[in-house]
Structure 1
Amino acid sequence: MKKLTSIMIIVALLSAMIVVAVPTNVSYASGPDYTPIDVADAPKYDIVVEGAIEPRSHHSYWRVGDIAYWLIGDFYYGVYRLRTFQLKAIGNTVEIWVQTDLRWPTGDPRPTPTILDAQIQYLLNEFDNKIYPIEIEYFGMPDFLDGSYAALPGMLGLPPDYFYEENGRNVILVSNIRDENYYYYTYPYYIAGFYSTAFEYYFDRNIISIDCYQWERRLGPPGYEWIPGIPVTRPYVYESTTAHEYQHLIHRDYQPSPETFMNEGCSMYAELLCGYGIDAQYLNSYFYTPDNSLTVWGDQGDINILADYGAAALWTAYLSDHYGGADLIRYYVQSGISGIDGINNALAAFGYKERFDDVYHDWRLANLIRADFPGCRKYNYKSLNLNDPEIIPVRTYEIGGLPVPWTKGTDFGNTVTILGYDTGVSKIGPYGTDYIAFENWTKPGIGFIYFDGDDVAPYGWELTEEGYWWSGAANLMNTLLVGKAYVNPADPTLVLTTYWDIEDFWDFGFVQVSTDSGQTWTSLANEYTTYKHDPDAHPDIIANLPGLTGWSMDWVTMSFDLSAYAGQNIMVGFRYMTDWATLYEGWYIESASVSDTPLTLTPVYPEADFQVTVVMALVIDGKTLYIPFDMWLNDKTEKGMSVGHAKKPDYTILVVSPVMHQGFVDYSFKVTKLLMLCKFFDP
């Protein structure tokens, strides 16, 4: 969004894009059964303009049948593309535009998507009469935007009122969204819709985008035939996607920096509120991989992103079911406080003594137990029936017999998705859960369970095989590498050999000094650092300026003046911080020295914390009674011990959940027979 050239407008605006995704069985008689997904925090994309722009004038506002320029998202190449759309319908609160050319790339075997006028009218009525009134009631009124301040007309030489509509009507753009599935038809997921703050900037309208794939099978109730002989087999995909994206639009107006897991959770909740339900695929994807983090979006990669949606949907439904209903969710959104802090704030405001970790503790047991007893219904859902035969049980690792030798969580191997894809992830992230079932213990069926969790959660800085320190690359990082030094007054200089490729003016690397053992930090400046930042950069990043950003192109040896600290013992810190989206390679450090003395660098990793619960499953007359109790853990060592019973048909489940906010961890456990008590705890 910085300047217009004949080919491209460079975009420097933060675009919080929220995108929906759907696995695939390739059969062209009916079309591949792609699974829709959603992208949470959007990148800041360039705009690609292909060909000459016709600076058309228009009447007071566009009429049905008119053709105008709007944008489509290309998430594969990371750009927005200018395309023509035709206005298909105007309602009381919304207008719907359809891209004029919906074809796939040359050589793609899929037929060109068809959008019928009857389908457009149906979706318009759903929005006017259901989605819009329900969402403004439950989440709030979005900001009024009428196109008066649209940025795109000035960039393209279009009339300044090109997007102006005096009533501020909402806009739905239907396009063939470009993603990996668009370019490679065997990819199992496609983006079914997205919301982007960049679009609001360009158009100054409340606007969402919906994909065009297979409307004849994915719009409307099950079995309905838009085209004779072709029934709806994936009901309500695009209605629910519209509800999902519109919640993102409202959410962003109240929370400028939303936590993705709750933003997505609220959007899945919106689908429930609007009566479209939650697709079992999302829930089953999570139940198949419950080690997927609730709070860290995409921790197991895009290939298991459905599990992230499933977790968010289940979590928000559970929170509403047991803590204040829709009123608490509305309060959370409108409070402007996001994530765990926002949930704690909402719980306190509604008079609950429980906080996030308490709710999470019970939620992970509800996903296992799914019954009103024990726990007075807290281990079950009210709004979802998890005992529906369509819903799978939560995945457990089964271990038979006694004794059980020391076993690590990573010994179970990499997490594999419900579709059979290897995520490459074996450790467990924040607020993920492993369930380990012990069975077939010999008489008397009692064993002692010992647990030992990691003490720290590695996150960010790591040493490469070449011996360089690398910052890592993830969204919303704040990771620190430190060393201690004495500043010799005869040579008060910090020398650093480094390489960086950091998102320009959004993400930064900071060289910092602390004189109080790391309690506070001051960023250093030299000819390579800058205070310049994007106006919409993350406030925590701005607070740490000056820093390094952009691309160094090669290794650089630089120096910093430490005269202000001459004669003092200091800590030197290398802090890498990223915002909500768009990642470059990151920051590398080869060496650093103070007063010609090399620094010994150590990453500062967060402390690991665990919730460990033992659940005895007693099988009585074919029914299972679950009895959960928590294992006490030493906070410093993360060690604990408990007892279990697993004489057939009874069994015991060990429920292990890391509850730190960052990093990935491992843990170990063993089980001994009743008489084999052993020394375990440190004296």
Structure 2
Amino acid sequence: MSPAQAQSRHVAPAPRAQQGTVPAEDGRELTRTRLTLNGHPLPAARYRPLPAARKAPGRTPPVGTVRKWVGLNDITGDLYRKEYTLRSVGRHIEVWVANDIAFPANDCRKNATEITDAQVADLTHEFDTNIYPKETAAFSVPPDRSGTTGTMEDGDFTGDGDKTVTLVDNVRDDNYFDFPAKPTYIAGFFSAQLNELFDRNVMTIDAYDWAHRLGRRPANDATDDLCTSRPSRPRMYEGTFAHEWQHLLEYYVDPAESDWLNEGLSDYAQTLVGYVDVHRSVYHRGYDTHIACYLGFGNVKTTYNANPRECGGPQNSLNLWDEGDADDVLADYGISYALMVYLRDRFGPALLSTLHRDAKHQGMPALVAAMPPGVRLPEVLHDFQIMTLVDKEVGDPGGTITGVPRKRVTSPSLRSTVNLANKTCYETPGAAPNGADFVRLPRGALHTVTFKGADTLTPAPLAWKLEGGRLFDGDTPGTDAAAVHPAEVPAADPVLRFTSTYAFEDGFDYGYVAVSDDGGKTYRIVPGDRTTKGPLGPGITGKATDAELTYDLTAYAGRKVLLSFRSVTDAAVNTGGWHLGAATVGGTALDTGTLTGWRSPTEIHPVAVHGWRVSLVGLGHKRAAVVPVRDVAALRGFPKVVAIVSYDDPTGEVTQYAPYTLTVDGVVQPGGSAAASGVAAHAGGSTP
């Protein structure tokens, strides 16, 4: 729908009393990565620093100044102009409050968006004296941006370059238009596109209910009516600011950082500045929802988790982000957050500073590079997985553990344990890449445990299909799909020629041609006459109809190769996809009118499983023991025995779960997959 339609959409009047309880955490992040302005797409954000001599100074205007910044309609992803008044200026912050922050007239939340001068002053003070000094010391300092070179027309946005512009607005998300049916809302966000639009460092914080969500001891006015309930949420908006401001800093240092590591550092920022105590569980006021979901306690009803929900669990991959149901992403945040805190406790805060500042490596390679000399990352991740299970029992005073040093599998900040009754410990078939299954073994005496893990991942089927008699990539958002065909490159005419109709989002989605001369183990992307620089190499982007494309394959002349047509798209916009017409290599045709002969890359060369680790953990009150599977008898006397099945992926790029079979006394246990075959383990140590 258009922005006008969304803004004028009828909202049914709410009944006088909306029975229920506000969710324990009703704020959420902005998930869009690209925005439009008045319906026109904004360019991809890219910071290009100017030489100091060319930087024009700016000066922040006086309090009371009115300027037209932008508000967000998240229904459409569109930014629209609106007036804000400058309410406070600090040493490093300007706070601008939108003049219109009201809900629609028939919304039942009355008087819920009042912003007082005292509240604005408190946020200014908290940023200047806590968030700014701690995050700049631990992470980085953003560049000065004075608003003199922005791309926004019609307006003055200049100001002191070292001040962060904070826009306080009632974000027009589904909660704005459809409450109480949509109970969660965007509590704040950072968008790099706004930084480039205004040439300022810009943050947005929502205007809802500051009276109960700002400060150390806000009022607690909870009721049974969703319309009037205002439970106390201490430091919620300050925590949101701390989280999103790490994203702002990371944008300048390493804009290509992987989602899971970037989000883990942002969650950690809330602990760094003292707003979130991750030591608390769902049985305590102020617990962290992300970590509770990762540990499998999101669905446990308590006084402080009055509205439990399924939100993922311990069987979670660091490689994958937001791959499950909508609420499962909370566990994705949780595993990353818990890992950051664990690394801080074990190696010190300097390691997290290194992760933030490392622009050369992203994701798992960044962790590898940050490890102290002689420390192997797979071993650290295995220790983290054991810590996730045993920390609560053995980390407290008097706790003991055998089989692994106690200091490696405890985290003073966390007090972690796993809800073993939650099937999210293992229910997805296979083990998660750079994750683990936590399988509680049957009660009673255990005699034999065997494990068999797959040597290779299950090949992915060909994702390309036929449409209109031509090979078609499917035009699927957020995909990386290749169609591969064997070919012989002649010495006399080593050229690939094909007709193609394609509609890729220009500059964001690409089509690549790649060649393998080693049976599909590796592929090299090759340039063509229409290719441009893409994230993975030379590729086609934008739109063309029945275009004639040529690729010089002289480097492979006289050899048999595999040709790959690879479509890589993001999750934002799809505009038509990629169709392949008639194709030839030299004078030999490739049949693009049938699927016969075309395969996915892993159907040709399956991905090898890098490594398995299986540990058995006996767990009791203030005690634990870790043994290999062959020593299961040593765990007799423990009330609980848990198998931790870990799948190691040093690349951080694998997105498939690996099949395995875990058998106890002749009975196959949950988790794993019947398709498992390959590595057999009886020792619980690393397997090849």
Give the Å deviation of 1:96: 0.6
| Residue 453 (1) aligns with residue 454 (2) | yes
| Aligned-pair CA distance for 1:123 | 1.0
Aligned partner letter, 2:386:
L
**Deviation string for 1:537-562 (max 9, x for gaps)?**
x6x33xx21x3323568xx6866466
Letter in 2 for 1:512: A
Report the equivalent of 1:433: 436
What is the aligned-residue RMSD (CA, Å)? 3.9
Q: For residue 53 of structure 1, what is the aligned residue in structure 2?
A: none
Question: 1:141–1:250: 8 Å Cα contact kept in structure 2?
Answer: yes
| In 1, Cα distance between equivalents of 2:159 and 2:590 | 66
Q: Paired residue for 2:624, among 623, 626, 630?
A: 626
Change (3 A) 1:675 1:151: closer
Alignment of 1:527-566 (within 5 A): 529-531=530-532, 540-541=535-536, 544-545=537-538, 547-551=539-543, 560=550, 564=554
Letter in 2 for 1:327: A
SS of corresponding position for 1:275: coil
Cα pair 1:104 1:182 within 8 Å, conserved = yes
Map of 1:484 onto structure 2: 486
Aligned counterparts of 1:431 and 1:308: Cα–Cα separation in 2: 12
Give a deviation string over 1:97-118, Cα, whole Å, max 9, x none: 1111123346543335222222
Judged with a 3 Å threshold, the aligned counterparts in structure 2 of structure 1 residues 500 and 243 are, in CA distance, closer, same or farther, namely: same
Q: Taking every aligned residue pair, what percent have the same amino acid on both sides?
A: 25
Query: What is the match of residue 13 of structure 1?
Result: none
Match among 652, 655, 660 for residue 644 of structure 2? 655
- Tell me what 2:283 maps to: none
Aligned to 2:282: none
User: What amino acid sits opposite 1:381 in the alignment?
Assistant: S
Asked whether 1:344 is paired with 2:368, we answer yes
Instruction: Note if 1:295 corresponds to 2:288.
Output: no
Question: Is the contact made by 1:447 and 1:672 (CA closer than 8 Å) also made in structure 2?
Answer: yes
Provide the rounded CA distance (Å) in 2 between the counterparts of 1:395 and 1:465: 45
The 3 A distance-change label for structure 1 pair 617 and 674 is: same
Distance 1:550 1:572 in 2: 22
Match of 2:34 in 1: 44
Matches within 5 A, 1:666-681: 666-673=658-665
Give how far 1:490 is off: 8.8
Match of 2:671 in 1: none
Question: Aligned in 2, Cα 1:359/1:664: closer, same or farther, shift over 3 Å?
Answer: same
Residue pair 2:452, 2:678 contacting (<8 A) in 1 also: no
1:360 aligned onto 2:381: yes
Further displaced range: 104-113 or 134-143: 104-113
Q: Whole-Å Cα distance in 2 between the matches of residues 38 and 625 of structure 1?
A: 39
Alpha-carbon distance change, 587 to 346 in structure 1, aligned in 2, over 3 angstroms:
same
For residues 49-85 of structure 1, give each alpha carbon's deviation from its aligned partner in whole angstroms, at most 9, with x where no partner exists: 89xxxxxxxx974322222111223333122222211
Counterpart Cα distance in 2 of 1:231 and 1:107: 19
State whether residues 512 and 574 of structure 1, in contact with CA within 8 Å, keep that contact through their aligned partners in structure 2: yes
Provide Cα deviations, 1:450-472, integer angstroms capped at 9, x if missing partner: 33336126569525698966478
Contact 1:74 1:80 in 2 (8 A): yes
Counterpart of 2:355 in structure 1 is: 332
> In structure 2, what is the equivalent of residue 380 of structure 1?
410
2:315·2:424 contact (CA, 8 Å) conserved in 1? Answer: no
Q: Distance in 1 between matches of 2:389 and 2:559?
A: 56
> Displacement, 1:346?
1.9
Give the Cα–Cα distance (whole angstroms) in 2 for the partners of residues 457 and 179 of structure 1: 40
Mapped to 2, the partners of 1:385 and 1:673 lie a distance apart of 33
Cα distance, 1:88 vs structure 2: 1.2
- CA gap of 1:626–1:459, structure 2 versus 1, over 3 A, is farther
CA contact (8 A) 1:487 1:566 kept: yes
CA contact (8 A) 1:430 1:658 kept: yes
- Cα distance, 1:520 vs structure 2: 5.3
Distance 1:352 1:163 in 2: 48
Q: Distance in 1 between matches of 2:659 and 2:373?
A: 32
- Counterpart for residue 138 of structure 2: 138
CA spacing shift, 1:673–1:584, aligned 2, 3 Å: same
1:272 Cα deviation from its structure 2 partner? 0.8
CA gap 1:378/1:222 in 2 versus in 1, 3 angstroms: farther
- Which SS does the other structure have where 1:452 is aligned? strand
Distance 1:471 1:362 in 2: 42
Matches within 5 A, 1:172-191: 172-185=166-179, 186-191=181-186
Change (3 A) 1:90 1:457: farther
Query: Matches of 2:140 and 2:235 in 1, distance apart?
Result: 23
What's the counterpart of residue 340 of structure 2? 316
How far residue 247 of structure 1 moved from its aligned partner, in angstroms, is 1.5
Q: Which amino acid aligns with 2:92?
A: T
Q: Which residue of 2 aligns with 1:421?
A: none
Relative distance call for 1:578 and 1:608 in structure 2 (3 A) is: farther
SS of equivalent to 2:515: strand
Deviation of the 1:653 alpha carbon: 1.4
| Gap change, CA 1:47 and 1:675, over 3 Å in 2 | closer
- Hey, what does 2:567 align to over in structure 1? 576
**Separation in 1 of the partners of 2:172 and 2:542?**
27
Gaps of at least 5 residues in structure 1 are 1-6, 9-25, 51-58, 400-408, 414-425, 632-640
Amino acid at match of 1:430: P
Please tell me whether the aligned partners of residues 509 and 587 of structure 1 are also in contact (alpha carbons under 8 angstroms): no
- Distance in 2, matches of 1:175 and 1:35, equals 17
Q: Which moved more, 1:252-261 or 1:596-605?
A: 596-605
Judge conservation of contact 1:243–1:267 (CA < 8 Å) in 2. Answer: yes
State the shift of 1:203 in Å: 1.5
2:49 alignment partner in structure 1: none
Cα distance between partner residues in 2 of 1:271 and 1:93 = 19
Q: Kindly tell me: are residues 496 and 103 of structure 1, through their superposed partners in 2, closer, same or farther at Cα, counting changes over 3 Å?
A: farther
Gaps of 5+ in 2: 5-16, 41-57, 223-227, 279-286, 297-312, 669-676, 681-688
Q: CA deviation at 1:127?
A: 0.7
